Structure 1
């Protein structure tokens, strides 16, 4: 079945352009110009990816992300004219998976869509029996159920936080460079990808109760990357 992508933007010309670009790749597309309709379509159509503009006429895009995250983990790619780091961080903190600043390259957007769909496909594939559950100190990662527990309390992660943690878990004990992680998760190594990784890693560490001065799970190799401890 072809992936379904929901485009949310108040500019009809952009919606039309994105629809043509998406459908030429063999994907299905549905679009809307406001946040309220986007939330209803997210429930009724269950899209595989949402492409979201922040400047909507009825509900601010950041609020749409928060409302979506209350009931769905659908990957969200933000496309916005808001190009300041603060706005990018706010969107990523709210639960967005990726962020592109207008004007953007449609080729780059399509590449990032492919990365997300590839991750979705890998996550749906049957896991090897020995890889179903990772246990590291008091951290338990159940890849079959896609659930995380710390000290017997469930930890809620965004899709990208889960992807980063899984990438580290599969390579536990090994140092993964910033370039390796950003290419695997976001499909590129642009400055904004590095910023996305920093925000994602900061949120992930906070949810794991990490003390930056004495980390239990994620070790920073300064100037190189990160590694997950291996007991």
Structure 2
């Protein structure tokens, strides 16, 4: 699927011209005439990059950029006839990633668009990688492959052992009660006399801790529960 670029400019001819450049490079485009329309549009639709004019009626580019940044990290490139350093600084401070002055070279515009999309793609991939992997000192938990490593060595856990460890790791620093762990992992009501969670915690410690009697990962909070 091709990347989608949102072009926001009150000048119809500029929008058409930019659209031709971008579509010739394989991008899909959407055109809007002012910042207010852009803010409303982006509340329900995501795009890959925004080209945003500064001087527009109803809501200028600076105001629109600040509104967009309240919720989205989409790359934003300002297009403006204002070429003073102070104008560029104001644009970047408001949350833009780049600033191009009019009239612009079409080749430079395309190059900057591609550069910002590459950066955004790498950033999003890194974020996604962090979501899949939880690293706590020498303990690595891959939520996608369900593999666990300690000191680089793979540790074999049962499905329930993995679920407990992943639950504690995703809530690192928080104390999880035995009841809460049981209900979230087994998806069933907890019985006070049930020691299932305690038994599983013991087995996990035997597998991931250097010294299970003095655990460095899964800590017992007496009378409350467990935490990483």
Distance in structure 2 (CA, Å) of the matches to 1:34 and 1:128: 36
Q: Give the Cα–Cα distance (whole angstroms) in 1 for the partners of residues 116 and 134 of structure 2.
A: 21
Structure 1 gap ranges (5+) = 136-231
Runs of 4+ residues over 3 Å off in structure 1: 124-129
Other-structure match for 1:28: 28
SS of 1:113's equivalent in the other structure is helix
User: 1:44: Cα distance to partner?
Assistant: 2.3
2:65 aligned with 1:37: no
Q: How has the CA–CA distance of structure 1 residues 13 and 89 changed in structure 2, closer, same or farther, with 3 Å as cutoff?
A: same
Alignment CA distance shift 1:39-1:132 (3 Å):
same
Task: State how far apart, in whole Å, the 1-side matches of 2:130 and 2:45 are.
Answer: 31
RMSD of Structure 2 on Structure 1 (CA): 2.5
For residues 120 and 35 of structure 2, the distance between their equivalents in structure 1, rounded to whole angstroms, comes to: 25
Within 5 Å, give how 1:213-224 maps onto structure 2: none
Cα distance in 2 between the residues matched to 1:66 and 1:124: 21
Question: Structure 2 regions of 5+ residues with no counterpart?
Answer: 138-228
> How far apart, CA to CA, are the structure 2 residues paired with 1:41 and 1:21?
23
Question: Which residue matches 2:70?
Answer: 70
In the TM superposition, residue 73 of structure 1 has moved relative to its aligned partner by: 1.0
After superposition, residues 175-186 of structure 1 pair within 5 angstroms as: none
Count of residues in Structure 1 that have an aligned counterpart in Structure 2: 135
Q: Distance in 2 between matches of 1:82 and 1:44?
A: 31
- Verify the 8 A CA contact 2:75 2:120 in the aligned structure 1: no
Match of 1:84 in 2: 84
Q: Equivalents in 1 of 2:76, 2:123: separation in Å? A: 17
1:42 to partner: Cα distance? 1.7
Question: Quick one: distance in 1 between partners of 2:134 and 2:109?
Answer: 32
Decide whether the 8 Å contact of 2:35 with 2:56 is kept in 1: yes
Displacement of 1:120: 2.4
Q: Which has the higher contact order (CA 8 A, sep 6+)?
A: 1
| TM-score (norm: length of structure 2) | 0.54
